[in-house]
Structure 1
Amino acid sequence: MTLSNRRKWKNILQCVVFSSALTSISAWAAPATPPRASTSKPQPATKARRGEAVRSPLAPKVETISVYGQGSTRQMTSVTSSMLRETVPGTSPMKALNRLPGVMYQSADPFGAYEYSSSLFMRGFSQAQLGFTLDDVPLGDQQFNNYNGLSITRAISTDNVSGVDVSQGAGAIDVASTSNLGGAMQFHSRDPSHKRGGNVEQTFGSNSTFRTFVRLDSGDLNHTGTRFYISYARTSLNLWKGGGYNYSDQVNAKFVQPLARGSSFKAFFNWSSIQQFDYQDMSLNYLHTVGSHLANYYPDYGAAYQAALGNFRPDIARSSDPLDAAYYAGTANRQDFLGGMTLNENLNDHLNWKTTLYGHGDSGYSTWTTPYTPSPNGSPLSVRTQNPGILRGGILSALTHHYGANTFNTGVWYEYGQFTEGRYFSETPLLGQGTLGNPTDHFPTGIFANPWNEKFQTSTFQFHIQDTYQITPHLKINAGFRSMVVQSGNQVLNQDSSYNGGNRVAQGRLTASNAFLPQVSANWRFLPHNELFFDVSHNMRAFPEDGYGTNVAATPWTTNQKAFDATARNLKPETDWVYEGGYRYTTPLVTGLLSAYRMNFSNRLQLVSTGPIVNPVTAVQNVGGVTTNGVEGSVTIRPLEGLSFYNSISYAHSTYDQDVQTSGGLEPTKGKLIPNYPALMYKGVIAYEWRNLNVHLDGNYLSHRYLTYTNDTKVPGYFIANFGARYRFTKIPALKNLTASFNIYNLFNKTYVATTGELGNSFSGSPQTFMMGAPRQFFGTVSVDF
C-alpha cells in the first residue's frame, strides 16, 4: 500500500471512529421515550424578513450548529451567536461556518485572520462566486484584492456579530450582490444593549497571540430606547512558521433609535487597520523536498540577497525551483472605513418601507520582494508594490406589503464604485549597506518604475420583485425575479511598456446585464414537524476587476490591449441555473435536513493562452460550463438537556463540460472534477452544557482535492479535530459574568494542506498554489462584564 493510500485510509478511519463515537454516545444517552415538552413559556418567533429563515420556537437554548431554516422555501441555515462564541475570540465568522454541509473554509492561520489565505467554497463555488452582506450592505466577493467590498473580518469584529443566515443553493433575489452564483451569506450585527455596561475580553495563546476587546454600551438613554455602543479590538500574533506577524485594530460603533409602530432608525460606523506578513505558497515538490515549514527569509535580508544571486540554503537547493521557494517577504497593509444608516419604517400594519444608505473607503498597499526585477543600484532584488483603493457608495430601498395570503416585496439597489490600483518597483539596498526592515510600516521609497496605474469606475443597478403566497396554512410559494445591469470600465492613467513585456495595458468598458433572473421556491409542511422544499433560480455574475498581469482573478482587464479588443466583443458574464429540493424534520429531540441539488454553470471565465506557441495571446475567455450534482444530509440530536450531537455529510460531483483549446494544444478537461473542492466532506460536533460549563469537540474530514484542471496532481484528504471549553463564574460578586475559555485547534497536530488555488490553478503539473495549515495551537480567554 502506498504512503498516500495509507494516509487516505487513516483519515477515513479517524472519521468513522469519530462519527461512530458521536452516534454511539447519542444512542446510549437517548431516553426510551421522548422528553416532555418544556413547561417554560416559549419565546415568540421572529417575523421572517421577506421569506428568510426564522428561528423555530422548537429550537433549544443550546445549539451545536444552527437552526435549519424551518419554514423557508430554500435551504437556509441560521447560525446563532452561541455557535460563533465556541471559536476563539477574533476568529473569522466564516471559519465558524465550516461546520455546515457543503461548506469548506480554509486558512493558513488558526484565526482565519490572514486574509490572503482565506478561502471559502460552497457546493463547489468559490467565495468570488457567492454573495456576502452585513446588515444588507454588500461586502463584494471577499477576494483578497477586493474591488467592490471588504472581508467580513475587516467589516466587523466577530464579537459584534449576532448571527449569519446562509443560503447554500441560491441567495434570495433581494441580496445586494453582483457575484451571487452559488449562494449567499448574510451577516447581522448585534444591537446595543438596553442596559448600561460593557465587556472586556483578553485572549492569550500560541505564537505570542495577544488580543484585547472592549465594548461599552450606553443602555437606554431615554424612555424611547435611544442607545448605542462602541467597541475596540486589538489583535497581535506571530506567524506559526518563519518571521513576521499579523496585527489588526478595529473600532465598531452602532446607534439605534426606536420609532413609532415598531419602526427604527439605525446607524453604524466601522474602522479597521491590518498589517500582515505572508505565508509562503507551496508546491508538492517543495513539500516533499524542503518540508511543510518552508517559510520566507524575513528578517534575514542577507539570505534573500544571496538567494537572488543563486546561492541557496542546502534544503532549498534540493527543490526543483529554489528561486521561488522563498522570498524576503510579502506583506499587506490595509485601512477601511465602512458606514451606513437604515430607516426601517412600518407605515401601517400592512406596509413596510426599508432604506439603507452606505459608504465604504479602502486604502493600503501590498509588497513582494522580487528576485526577478533587479534594482538600478546593482541589487539583485527590488520591492514590487501594489496599492489598491476603493471608494463606493450606494442605496438599497424596498417596500413590503402584506395583503391577505400574499406578501409582496419590491426594491432597488444602486451603487457607484471607484477602484484604483497601481504597480511600482522600488530599490533595495546593496548587501552590507542596509536592509529592507519591516515593509508593513511605510510605503516603499526609492521608486524607480511605475509599470501601470489604473482607475476603474462601476455602476450597479438591481431591481427585484417577488411574492410569497400562503396557499394553505401548510403550503406556500415564493416567486419573483431580479434585473441587473453592471457597467464597468477602466482608464490607464500611466504605463511603462518596458516593464510590461512591451505590451499596452488593456483599457475598455464591459457591461454585464440580464433583465430577467427568476427564482421560484416552495415549502410544504405535509405533517407536523415534517416539510419539503424546492428552489429553482437563474443567476449572473458581473465581470470581476483587477489590474494588469495579476493573473489570479479571471478578470478581462488582466491582459494587453490587443487581446482585450479581440475577446471583449464576444465575452459573456458567468451565469447558472440552480435546482435544489429537500426535506426537513424539526422536533425538540431531533433536527434533520436532507437535500439534493443540481447546478448548470455556463460561460465560465478562465485565463487561456491561444495562438502560436512561439507568440501566444493570453486573455480571459469563456471556456464552457460545469455540471454539479450533489447531496447533503445533517442531523442534530438532543437526547438530554444541554447535550447535543451534530453530524453532516455532503457529496458533490462537479465536472467540466468541455475540453479547452490553448496555444499548447487541446487540454483534456471534459469530465474532470473541478480543483480546490473535495467531493466528500464529513463534519461532526458534540457539545454539552451543564450549569455554567460548556464544552465541545468537533471533527472535520475532507477527501482529496485536485490542484489542476486535468486532475493530474492532488493533495491528500485529512481529518482534523478541535476542542473548546468555557466556564462562567457566578460566585464572584465583584466580577460580573466572569468567564474563562480554553480552545485547542488541530487537536491531534495533523500536518495538512489548507488553502489551495490562491494563485489560481494550472492545466497540469505541480503548481505553487497551496498553503499549509497551522499545527496544534492553544488559546485561552478571560472576559468580564461591567
Structure 2
Amino acid sequence: MVSLLRLPFSSGRRFQMSLFRFTALTSVCLMASPARAALSGETHARKGAHHGTAQRGTVHHTAALPAAQAAAPARKPVSHGNIRASGDETVAVSGHRAVSRGPDNVIGQAVFRQFTPGVSAYKALDRLPGVSFSSTDALGIDTWGSSIYVRGFFMDQLGITLDGIPLNDQTYETQNGVNLIQAVISDDIEHATLSTGPGGVSVPSTSTLGGTIQFETSDPKDRAGGKVSQGFGSYASYRTYLRGDTGKLNATGTKAMVSYSRSDEKKWMGRGHQFQQQVDSKLVQPIGNDSMMKAFFNWSQLQEWGYQDTSLSMIRTMGWRVPHLYPDYAKAYNYAASLQDGGTPTLPVPDEVSSNSQQPYLYDAGQNEIDYTGGLRFDLALTDHLRWKSMLYGQSMTGYYSYSDYDYASPDTGAPFSEAVWQVRQERVGGSTGLEYKIARHTIDAGVWYENNNQAADVYWYNEPALGQGAPLKTVGPYTTYGPAFQRGYGMAWRTNNFTWHLEDTWRPLKNLRVTAGFKSMVTGTAGGGYYNNPDYTGADKLPVGTMTASAAFLPHVGASWFFLPHHELYFDLAENMRTYQVLPNGGGNSLWAVQDQATFRDLQNSVKPEKDWVYAVGYRYSDKLIQASIDGYHADARHRLMAATLGTITAPVSSVIQSRVSIYGVDASTTLTPVKGLAIYNSVSYNHGTYGNNLDASDGFYHMKGRKLVNYPQFMYKANLSYTWHGVEAHFDVHYYSKRYFSFTNDTSVPGYWLASTGARWNLGKIGFARNMFLDFNVYNLFNSKYVSMMGQNGNPISGDYQSLERGAVRQYFGTVSAEF
C-alpha cells in the first residue's frame, strides 16, 4: 500500500529544507545582531497611514468602503493642503501610495474583523465595487471551487503580492505562483491594497492585465504576548489559531512572531473533510535610524475533498445536491462495473445528462498540497533623499490532485475503476532591487525584478481495491491508491525566466496636484514541454515541446490626481500591460503547451502573440465626515486574449486555446454614509459591458462570438453593508446581488443571477483574568439559504451549449469563535 505523500520528489524536499535552513539561520543571526535602529521608513509609512502622518508625500483619506468609521474614538484629522486625512486606524481607507496610479482601495482590520476568522481574505475584497468573488465552501478555502474577478479580469490576469512576494496565478493547480490561502494565515494579514485600474509598473508580476492586489502581513508586536482563538461551526467545522510575539528583545528593537492555525470542516454536500494547517513566522530588525529588515516564512499543508462538478442539465434533472459517492465504496464499485461494455447503470442517469456523457456519480475527488513560501526584505535609507529597497524570496509547491476514473479499470486488483492523480511540482526563486530618489518636487523610482521558475506536471493512475479486499486510505484525504502506478499519461516540464525593469517619476507641481509617469520593460522566456507521452491517453504522437518568448521594451503608464476643491478629487489613469505565456499540461487550459499535439503547438507558436491591453480609468471622489462617495469609469482594450475553450464531453474533452480581442466598458459607484457615531451605511453598484471581438472558426464548425458578452462575470452587481458599533459590540449585515452570468462563449447558456446575504456580530468583553482582550464572534453565511452557482468554468467553458464545469455555492452555515489576547 503506497500513500501519495510518500511519492518521491527529492529535489522539492532539498529546496524546502534549504529554504527552511536559510530562513532559520537568517532569523537567528539577525536576532543576535548588534545593529542600532529605531523605526524604519516602512514602519513610519504604516503609522502614517494609520495616524495621519504624511507618508513621504502620500495623502490618505477615508473611502466609500463598508467600515464603521466611528468604531473607535476619533483622532484629530491632519491637514495636508486642502485634504483632510482620517486618523482612525480601525477604518478601511483608500488613498494614494507614493507611486499611486489613482486612489487605491485599502481594506484594513475593521473590515477583516467582520468575517469569520480563517476565511479567505478575498471575501473581504468582494465588498468593493467591480470585484466578484465566489466559492463552493463558506470560508472560500476550496481552491478548486473559488475564483475572483476584478472588472472582468480573472485571477490569473491580476498582479498579486504578499509582503512584496509575487503570488502570480491564483488558479487551481497553478504552476506559476501560489494561492493566497496557501501562502499566509489570514489572521496575520494586516491590510490589503486593491488597485482596480491598470496596476503599477513597480509591482513584480508577469500576469497583470487588470489591477493589482497587495497583501501585507502584520509585524510582530512591541510587547511580548500572544493570541488564542478557537472557532466552531456548521458541518463539524473547527479552527484553532495560536500566535506568540516576543516583543522587543533588545535595544535595537529586534522582535519576532510565530503563529499556527489548524482548521477542519466537513463538506456541506456529501462526505469528506477540508483540512488545512499552517505556520507563519516573521522577524523584524531595525537597522540604523531609518532602515529595516523583515523576514517572512510560511509552511502550509492542504488536504481537501472536492465537490462534484455539475452542469446546467444535471441541476435541472437531478436536483441541487448530487454529491460524490464517497464513502459508499460498494455503490461506486457496482456503478463503475455497470458502465463496463455499455451496460445499464445501477444508478439513474437522466437522458439529458447521459446524452452529454457526463459523470454525475464519481466516487471522490480532491487535492493534497504542501507549500513553502519565504522572503527577506530590506528598506535602507542611504541618504535623506535616497532609499534602497531589495527583496529575496523562494517558494516550493508539491501537489497531488485526483479523481476516481471510470474509464480505466485497476489491472492489479480487478476493480472496475481507478484513481487518476495529477502530480504538480514548482520551485521559484527570485529577487528585486530598486532605488527611490527625492529631488525637488519629484520622487523617482527605478528597479529590476528577476525570477526563475522550474515547473513540472505528470498524471498517473493507481489501483483501487477489489470489493471486500481492502478499504480506501483515510489518512491522506481523498486518495485511494493500492500499489504503484499502473499507467502514466504524460510528463511535462518547463523552465521559465522572468525579468522586468521599471522607471517612474511622481511629480508634484502643486500641493494639490500629483502627476505620475513611467514605464516598464518585460521579457520572459519559457522552454520545455512534454518529455513523456502515452499516445493511448493523449491521442497524440508527440506532445508540445518548444520555446516561447514574450517581450515588451516599453509599456507606458501615466496618471494624475487633482484635489481641485476641499473634499473633491479628480483622477485619471492609463497604461499598457502585457501578460506572459502560461504553462499548463496537456488539456490544462489557456496555455500553448496544453493543446493536443506538437503540430498544433507549432502552428500557434508562429501565430500567437502575448496578451496585451490598454486600460483607461477616470474618476471622481468626494469625502467628508458624513459622506464618502466615488464614481469611476473605465475601459480596457485587450488584444490577443488567450482563453480555454472546451469541445466534446466531460469524459472525452477536446481542449482548445482561443485567441480573441476583448473590449470592456464599465462604471463603479459607491457611497458610505456615517450619519451618527458608530453607524456606517455602504452601497455600491457596478456595471460591466465586456464583449469578444471576433468569431471562431473551429474544427467542428463556425461559432459566432463577436459581440457576445464575457463568460463567468456578472454585468451588474449591487452590494450593501450596514454596520453599527456600540460599547464594544459591533453588528453588521451584508447583501450582494450578482446578475446573470454567461456560461458559453456564444452566450447560448447562462446561469441566473442571485442574492447572497450574511450577518454577524462581535463582542469585546475586555480584560478577563489573564486576557487583555477577549472577543466573541458569531457569523451567519448565506443567511436566506439561497441556491446559486458559484465557480464557473473550472474545467473550461464550452464554446456552445452545456458542460460539466460548474460548482454550487454553500448553503446557510453558522460560525462562532472565542479568542483572547494576552
- Fold conserved (TM > 0.5)? yes
C-alpha distance after superposition, 1:528-572 (max 9, x if no partner):
11010000100000111111122x344434431111112212211
C-alpha distance after superposition, 1:1-59 (max 9, x if no partner):
xxxxxxxxxxxxxxxxxxxxxxxxxxxxxxxxxxxxxxxx9964355589797778543
Helix, strand or coil at the partner of 1:324? coil
CA distance in 1, matches of 2:401, 2:192: 30
Report if the CA contact (8 A) 1:406-1:467 is conserved.
yes
Report if the CA contact (8 A) 1:66-1:83 is conserved.
no
1:727 corresponds to 2:754: no
Aligned residue pairs, count: 740
Kindly tell me: are residues 559 and 48 of structure 1, through their superposed partners in 2, closer, same or farther at Cα, counting changes over 3 Å?
farther
C-alpha distance after superposition, 1:330-372 (max 9, x if no partner):
1100001111111100111111100000011111211111111
Aligned to 2:807: 771
Aligned to 1:45: 52
CA distance in 1, matches of 2:112, 2:529: 43
Q: Which amino acid aligns with 1:546?
A: L
Partner of residue 538 from structure 2, selected from 500, 518, 522:
500
Report if the CA contact (8 A) 2:452-2:495 is conserved.
yes
Q: Which moved more, 1:166-175 or 1:71-80?
A: 71-80
C-alpha distance after superposition, 1:134-167 (max 9, x if no partner):
0111001101111121111111001000000001
Report if the CA contact (8 A) 2:62-2:623 is conserved.
no
1:460 corresponds to 2:498: yes
CA distance in 2, matches of 1:133, 1:462: 15
Kindly tell me: are residues 304 and 49 of structure 1, through their superposed partners in 2, closer, same or farther at Cα, counting changes over 3 Å?
farther
Report if the CA contact (8 A) 2:595-2:655 is conserved.
no
1:324 corresponds to 2:362: no
Helix, strand or coil at the partner of 1:699? strand
Aligned to 1:411: 447
TM superposition shift of 1:764: 1.1
Helix, strand or coil at the partner of 1:142? coil
TM superposition shift of 1:440: 2.7
Aligned to 2:728: 692
Helix, strand or coil at the partner of 1:172? coil
Can you give the 5+ residue segments of structure 2 that lack an aligned partner in the other structure?
1-47, 64-76, 78-84, 648-652
TM superposition shift of 1:62: 7.8
Aligned to 1:652: 688
CA distance in 2, matches of 1:773, 1:633: 27
Kindly tell me: are residues 52 and 332 of structure 1, through their superposed partners in 2, closer, same or farther at Cα, counting changes over 3 Å?
farther
Helix, strand or coil at the partner of 2:359? helix
CA distance in 2, matches of 1:667, 1:577: 27
Partner of residue 101 from structure 1, selected from 124, 129, 150:
129
CA distance in 2, matches of 1:540, 1:166: 19
Q: Which moved more, 1:47-56 or 1:685-694?
A: 47-56
Partner of residue 564 from structure 1, selected from 594, 597, 601:
601
Q: Which moved more, 1:310-319 or 1:642-651?
A: 310-319
Report if the CA contact (8 A) 2:52-2:87 is conserved.
no
1:477 corresponds to 2:515: yes
Kindly tell me: are residues 43 and 435 of structure 1, through their superposed partners in 2, closer, same or farther at Cα, counting changes over 3 Å?
closer
Helix, strand or coil at the partner of 2:94? coil
CA distance in 1, matches of 2:600, 2:771: 66
Report if the CA contact (8 A) 1:727-1:739 is conserved.
yes
TM superposition shift of 1:584: 0.9
Report if the CA contact (8 A) 2:103-2:195 is conserved.
yes
Where do 1:213-232 residues align within 5 Å?
A: 213-232=241-260
Q: Which amino acid aligns with 1:367?
A: S
Aligned to 2:33: none
Q: Which amino acid aligns with 1:198?
A: G
Aligned to 1:244: 272
Q: Which moved more, 1:370-379 or 1:714-723?
A: 370-379
Aligned to 1:22: none
C-alpha distance after superposition, 1:298-321 (max 9, x if no partner):
111122222222354655456523
CA distance in 1, matches of 2:107, 2:245: 24
C-alpha distance after superposition, 1:505-526 (max 9, x if no partner):
1111100110111100000110
Kindly tell me: are residues 558 and 440 of structure 1, through their superposed partners in 2, closer, same or farther at Cα, counting changes over 3 Å?
farther
Aligned to 1:360: 395
Kindly tell me: are residues 212 and 119 of structure 1, through their superposed partners in 2, closer, same or farther at Cα, counting changes over 3 Å?
same
Aligned to 1:341: 376
Helix, strand or coil at the partner of 1:765? coil
Q: Which amino acid aligns with 1:165?
A: T
Q: Which amino acid aligns with 2:556?
A: P
CA distance in 2, matches of 1:62, 1:733: 27
Where do 1:114-513 residues align within 5 Å?
A: 114-308=142-336, 309-310=338-339, 312=345, 316-317=349-350, 320-321=353-354, 324-377=359-412, 378-438=414-474, 440=477, 444=481, 445-513=483-551
Q: Which amino acid aligns with 2:335?
A: A
Report if the CA contact (8 A) 2:61-2:93 is conserved.
no
C-alpha distance after superposition, 1:373-413 (max 9, x if no partner):
22224432111111101111001111000101000000000
Kindly tell me: are residues 239 and 316 of structure 1, through their superposed partners in 2, closer, same or farther at Cα, counting changes over 3 Å?
farther
Q: Which moved more, 1:58-67 or 1:117-126?
A: 58-67
CA distance in 2, matches of 1:782, 1:617: 50
Where do 1:566-585 residues align within 5 Å?
A: 566-585=603-622
Q: Which amino acid aligns with 2:528?
A: N
Q: Which amino acid aligns with 1:332?
A: Q
Partner of residue 59 from structure 1, selected from 86, 89, 94:
86
Q: Which amino acid aligns with 1:372?
A: D
Aligned to 2:27: none
Q: Which moved more, 1:638-647 or 1:70-79?
A: 70-79
Report if the CA contact (8 A) 2:767-2:773 is conserved.
no
CA distance in 2, matches of 1:392, 1:301: 39
Kindly tell me: are residues 372 and 65 of structure 1, through their superposed partners in 2, closer, same or farther at Cα, counting changes over 3 Å?
farther
TM superposition shift of 1:290: 1.2
Partner of residue 758 from structure 1, selected from 788, 794, 805:
794
Kindly tell me: are residues 319 and 617 of structure 1, through their superposed partners in 2, closer, same or farther at Cα, counting changes over 3 Å?
closer
Q: Which moved more, 1:87-96 or 1:62-71?
A: 62-71
CA distance in 2, matches of 1:683, 1:468: 34
Report if the CA contact (8 A) 2:519-2:554 is conserved.
yes
Partner of residue 600 from structure 1, selected from 633, 637, 649:
637
CA distance in 2, matches of 1:783, 1:44: 27
Can you give the 5+ residue segments of structure 1 that lack an aligned partner in the other structure?
1-40, 611-615
Aligned to 1:12: none
TM superposition shift of 1:66: 4.3
1:586 corresponds to 2:619: no
Q: Which moved more, 1:159-168 or 1:71-80?
A: 71-80
C-alpha distance after superposition, 1:559-604 (max 9, x if no partner):
3111111221221111100010000111122111100001101101
Report if the CA contact (8 A) 1:60-1:588 is conserved.
no
Aligned to 2:716: 680
Aligned to 2:675: 639
Aligned to 2:102: 74
TM superposition shift of 1:434: 2.8
TM-score of the superposition, structure 1-length normalised?
Answer: 0.91
Report if the CA contact (8 A) 1:290-1:315 is conserved.
no
CA distance in 1, matches of 2:806, 2:654: 27
CA distance in 2, matches of 1:216, 1:269: 15
CA distance in 2, matches of 1:393, 1:125: 27
TM superposition shift of 1:437: 3.7
Q: Which moved more, 1:296-305 or 1:332-341?
A: 296-305
Helix, strand or coil at the partner of 1:364? strand
Aligned to 1:661: 697
CA distance in 2, matches of 1:489, 1:721: 47
Report if the CA contact (8 A) 1:307-1:323 is conserved.
no
* Alpha-carbon RMSD: 2.3
